[in-house]
């Protein structure tokens, strides 16, 4: 029995190592992290599929008029979100209804989109492809274009053993890329792993304590989200009238519930919230600090914030949030657009 366990654990360690080497898909499960939600049996990760997914992610020809790629709204150096724009900008200059979210550690998300309308990462990409304000295309046309391309037929043949390109293989290739976007090398992570030189400053330590007390119940370590929908005290935007989760469930009690987003790389993923209403972390912290004054229904976790943060506390919190920035991730060459691929 013990022997079996030993063999098994050696096997598992080897498996993880094999994920890490250059030849494999760069996805890996960081130490001490929970089990991912993604069902890897549906879509085996490989290097070929990852590289194909990356090519597709940066390819504008997937959009109706060949002007918009996934990367137009999901830029690597901002944690794979739009920056500067509060609401997403798509085809024909159309402005969407929501702020594009970061694409980080997606294997650990149990649902997608601000309202949780999408239940499976593989099915997510259908949205931007056919959304009239995003890439404005339709699936039969996308599949037709890919099948007319000698370049892609070769790539799909090598990745999936099939040169006839199907919706399923297109979506699986994209997921092979987006799943690989694992961020777990921020100063916070290095500190947790006891790496020399990554000790928190006094200010970061104080910010971390404040965070654990006031924020961690929703933005839970180590992913800094909780796969939950909450009301964090934002007033409804009278123009957008976005009711969040209720649009999906039709339940009144779900009105204004939004996904708790991850805070990893938050320093670079501004503007913030589902409608991008805040540009600076200072505004976010001010918001949480002043909630008790609002006469709004907020989720119970926020009732813990009894009195406004002091200016010093706000600065400390922001200093901690900045320890979640992962430069290795934001500048990882493997995630970038590859020139000379064709």
**Can you give the binding site for ligand HEC, defined by CB under 6 A?**
57, 68, 70, 72-74, 88, 90, 96, 98, 100-101, 103, 106, 109, 112-114, 124-125, 128-129, 134-135, 174, 178, 214-215, 217-219, 230, 232, 234, 258, 260-261, 263, 266, 269, 272-274, 284-285, 288, 299, 301-302, 317
269 interacts with, out of ligand HEC, other proteins, none, CB within 5 to 8 A per kind: ligand HEC
Q: Which helix (H) or strand (E) holds 174?
A: helix 167-179
Query: What is the number of H-type helices and E-type strands within the chain?
Result: 14, 2
45 interacts with, out of other proteins, ligand HEC, none, CB within 5 to 8 A per kind: none
Whole-number minimum distance, CB 236 to other proteins, in Å? 20
Q: What is the DSSP letter of 89?
A: B
Q: Which residues bind other proteins (CB under 8 A)?
A: 39, 42-43, 113, 117-120, 122-123, 126-127, 130-131, 139-140, 143, 166-168, 171, 247-250
What's the CA gap between 175 and 266, in Å, rounded? 23
Sign of the Cα pseudo-torsion (264, 270, 273, 279, in order): positive
234 interacts with, out of ligand HEC, other proteins, none, CB within 5 to 8 A per kind: ligand HEC
Residues in CB range of 164: below 8 A, 6 or more apart: 147
Q: How many residues can be counted in the chain?
A: 342
265 interacts with, out of other proteins, ligand HEC, none, CB within 5 to 8 A per kind: none
What's the CA gap between 33 and 117, in Å, rounded? 26
Whole-number minimum distance, CB 166 to other proteins, in Å? 7
**Strand, helix or coil for residue 229:** strand
Residue entry with tokens 């290795």: 328
Pick between residue 18 and residue 186 the one whose CB is nearest to ligand HEC: 186
Pick between residue 6 and residue 294 the one whose CB is nearest to ligand HEC: 294
The verdict on whether omega for the bond into residue 222 sits within 30 degrees of 0, i.e. cis, is yes
């Amino acid at each position: 029995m013990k022997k079996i366990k030993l063999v098994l654990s050696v096997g598992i360690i080897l498996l993880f190592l094999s994920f890490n080497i250059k030849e494999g898909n760069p996805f890996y499960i960081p130490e001490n992290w929970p089990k991912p939600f993604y069902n890897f049996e549906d879509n085996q990760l490989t290097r070929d599929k990852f590289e194909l997914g990356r090519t597709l992610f940066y390819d504008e020809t997937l959009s109706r008029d060949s002007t918009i790629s996934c990367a137009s709204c999901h830029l690597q150096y901002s944690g794979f979100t739009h920056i500067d724009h509060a609401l997403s900008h798509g085809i024909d200059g159309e402005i969407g209804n929501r702020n594009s979210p970061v694409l980080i550690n997606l294997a650990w998300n149990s649902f997608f989109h601000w309202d949780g309308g999408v239940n499976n990462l593989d099915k997510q990409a259908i949205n931007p492809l056919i959304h009239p304000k995003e890439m404005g295309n339709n699936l039969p046309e996308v599949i037709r274009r890919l099948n007319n391309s000698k370049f892609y037929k070769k790539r799909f043949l090598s990745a999936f053993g099939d040169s006839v390109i199907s919706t399923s293989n297109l979506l699986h290739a994209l997921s092979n890329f987006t799943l690989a976007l694992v961020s777990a090398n921020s100063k916070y992570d290095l500190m947790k792993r006891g790496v020399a030189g990554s000790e928190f400053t006094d200010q970061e330590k104080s910010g971390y304590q404040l965070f654990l007390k006031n924020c961690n119940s929703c933005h839970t370590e180590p992913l800094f989200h909780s796969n939950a929908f909450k009301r964090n005290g934002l007033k409804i935007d009278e123009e957008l009238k976005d009711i969040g989760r209720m649009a999906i469930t039709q339940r009144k009690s779900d009105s204004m519930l939004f996904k708790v987003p991850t805070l990893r790389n938050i320093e670079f993923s501004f503007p913030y919230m589902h409608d991008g209403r805040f540009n600076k972390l200072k505004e976010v912290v001010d918001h949480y600090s002043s909630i008790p004054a609002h006469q709004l229904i907020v989720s119970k976790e926020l009732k813990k914030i009894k009195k406004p943060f002091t200016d010093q506390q706000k600065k400390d919190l922001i200093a901690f949030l900045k320890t979640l920035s992962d430069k290795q991730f934001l500048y990882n060459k493997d995630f970038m657009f590859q020139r000379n691929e064709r």
